[in-house]
C-alpha cells in the first residue's frame, strides 16, 4: 500500500540577535518581544502535531512550545544551524575587515569558518539528520529549526530547483513538503509539491 509523506520545515521566531543582523548559529539568543508577538499572532494557523522535532537550541524549542502547546517536543542536536565559530554574535560591520571573513564572502560554499563549520560539513550533517528521520511512526512531521537548515533541505528536496541562497525563509514560517509515497522520500527524490506555511486562516476557523 502506498503511503504519502508530509514534512513541514519551520524557522524559529525572531531573536534579539536576528534584530541586530548578527551571525547566530550554535550560540543562542532569546526571542525578541516582536518575535514573541509574531508567534502569538500565528496561534492556531498551523496543522496540529502530536510530536514536533526541534533543534535543541532554546530559540527553536521555545518557538515550538508556543506554536504547538499540546505537542511533545523532541530535541535533536543534528538540526542545529551552521556553527559560525568565531563569528558567532558578530555583524557584518564587525567582521568586514577580517581576512578570513572576506575569503568566506568570496566563496561561502567552500571556505572555512574559523572554529566553526564549512558549508560542506554543515550540509552533510543536515542531510544525515534528514535520512535518519523516522517516517514509519508518522506521515505528517513538523521540524522546528533554523533558516540555513530549511534552505539546505529545500535546495535538495523542493520540486523546483533553486539555490541555497534563493530561498527566503520567514521567522516562525516555512514550507510543507509532500511526497506521494514513502519510497520516493527514502530514495532521496525531490518532493511532489510544497506550499508555504502557515496558512493565514486559523485552522479552527
Looking at residue 172, the DSSP 8-state letter turns out to be T
**Of 176, 133, 134, 167, whose CA–CA distance to 149 is shortest?**
167
- State how far the Cα of 19 lies from the Cα of 180, in Å rounded to an integer: 39
Q: Which residue ranges make up the annotated binding site for substrate?
A: 11-18, 59
Picking from 173, 136, 169, the residue whose alpha carbon sits closest to that of residue 154 is: 169
Location of C-alpha cell 506521515 = 139
Find out whether 197 and 173 touch, Cβ atoms under 8 Å.
yes
Binding residues: 11-18, 59
Amino acid at each position: 500500500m502506498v503511503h504519502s509523506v508530509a514534512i513541514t520545515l519551520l524557522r524559529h521566531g525572531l531573536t534579539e540577535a536576528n534584530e541586530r543582523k548578527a551571525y547566530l548559529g550554535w550560540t543562542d539568543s532569546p526571542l525578541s518581544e516582536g518575535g514573541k508577538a509574531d508567534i502569538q499572532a500565528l496561534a492556531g494557523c498551523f496543522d496540529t502535531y502530536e510530536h514536533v522535532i526541534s533543534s535543541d537550541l532554546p530559540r527553536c524549542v521555545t518557538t515550538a512550545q508556543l506554536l504547538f502547546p499540546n505537542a511533545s517536543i523532541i530535541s535533536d542536536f543534528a538540526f542545529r544551524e551552521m556553527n559560525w565559530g568565531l563569528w558567532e554574535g558578530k555583524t557584518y560591520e564587525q567582521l568586514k575587515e577580517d581576512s578570513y571573513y572576506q575569503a568566506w564572502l568570496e566563496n561561502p560554499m567552500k571556505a572555512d569558518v574559523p572554529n566553526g563549520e564549512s558549508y560542506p560539513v554543515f550540509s552533510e550533517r543536515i542531510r544525515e539528520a534528514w535520512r535518519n528521520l523516522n517516517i514509519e511512526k508518522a506521515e505528517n512531521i513538523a521540524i522546528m529549526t533554523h533558516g540555513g537548515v530549511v534552505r539546505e533541505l529545500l535546495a535538495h528536496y523542493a520540486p523546483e530547483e533553486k539555490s541555497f541562497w534563493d530561498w527566503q525563509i520567514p521567522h516562525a514560517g516555512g514550507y510543507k513538503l509532500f511526497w506521494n509515497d514513502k519510497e520516493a522520500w527514502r530514495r532521496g527524490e525531490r518532493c511532489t509539491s510544497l506550499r508555504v506555511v502557515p496558512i493565514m486562516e486559523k485552522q479552527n476557523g
